[in-house]
Structure 1
Amino acid sequence: MPTADTPVAGPAPGAADSEAPGPGIAGAGRPGPYPEVATPPTDAPPGDWAPVPAPHGLFRLRPVALPRDLVLIARWMNDPEVAAFWELAGPPEVTEAHVRAQTDGDGRSVPCLGLLDGRPMSYWEIYRADHDVLTPYYPARPYDVGIHLLLGGGTDRGRGLGTELLRAVTSLILAHRPCATRVLAEPDVRNVRSVAAFLRAGYRKDRELELPGKRAALMIRDRAPTPPA
């Protein structure tokens, strides 16, 4: 999931504006040996979320469709900065297996493209952290939502986009997942750019986790308390 504007890794290290998280541990966001996920009736899928204005344009999420989006995502995964963290470099079939495990799964993880003024420029995974392989490693709460992301093109990195879009997507999640009390991510602790991006986006570092293959920073954005009437 290398600057809040670059990718980080997941399943792996990424300036303050240069990181974006990849899958937290191997298989994160993929179907696993967990109970079937019940989706609250009030939850709208990411594809139904309205576009939101961001400083650099109008941003929206579009669920990934295979094979339509495979060439683009596979190209991003073969970018050296991305590959260092996501560990999905190789032929398109490598990326396809990772993404299809989600698109053909039970909905606990939704892979999306991030579009800025209609241009695909980032990849996101929005997943139920409380039903993920991450759950044995942290005190999960019901309806916890996790995110992984990467900024695809080099021109989109290093100019603050990662932080801006983290804020926007986190706000969308909290607006459309009313049962969720928080959103979390688990970048590699060595990826100081990613950690800094989450901090600037309003997350706090809760603790460090020993995950298979990496030591991660558990970053949490709590839902703001409802102001008194």
Structure 2
Amino acid sequence: MSAVRIGVITFPGTLDDVDAARAVRRAGAEPVALWHSDRDLQGVDAVVVPGGFSYGDYLRAGAIASLAPIMSEVVSGAAGGLPVLGICNGFQILCEAGLLPGALARNAGLHFVCRDQRLRVENAGTAWTSAFTEGEEIVVPVKNAEGRYVADGETLTRLEDEGRVAFRYVGGNPNGAMADIAGITSENGRVVGLMPHPEHAIDTLTGPSEQGLGLFTSLLRTLTGAAV
């Protein structure tokens, strides 16, 4: 069987594309570089929208990137079931593009936060979380200035009722996110966005744990139907 190919998008200002590609490779898949101005997903099996400061966070974090040509292809692909993972700035982009509900606002206290963060896996049934068990706690870094998840009451109720909160902060909320929400999923579980950085927790040499790798191995399990 040919290797699973996972696209990693680079926008002007992206910082974590190399780290995301390394995580993809570490999980056993083939990373494929995708450029923001292209309109070709190169036949990839999934897409990672990585962290950084796309377009300098001008206007609003993720707003300009959501209009990039490559994102039109991602939106179309997601409509057809393409798995998509948005990390930090990538989560902001997915919300701005309408692939996930709600928005990411300035942190409570208006400070940039960078620390190792405990998360609880609330939904282990998505394309990106199937390697975990519901209720499992993992530790991955968080680093953001506009990471406070916000949504109207109706949206929050729907997310909770439909089990679409993928990850929740535990041991302290780093940015004031509503309901301690660290990550959410689409209705079909194929699109996931989270503010913390699993690609920075794939080995203990460079991160606080190896637990972030589980998001990437989850995808391989989803796509191949086998445990990895």
TM-score, normalisation: structure 2: 0.29
> Which structure ranks higher in relative contact order (CA pairs < 8 Å, sequence separation ≥ 6)?
1
TM-score, normalisation: structure 1: 0.29
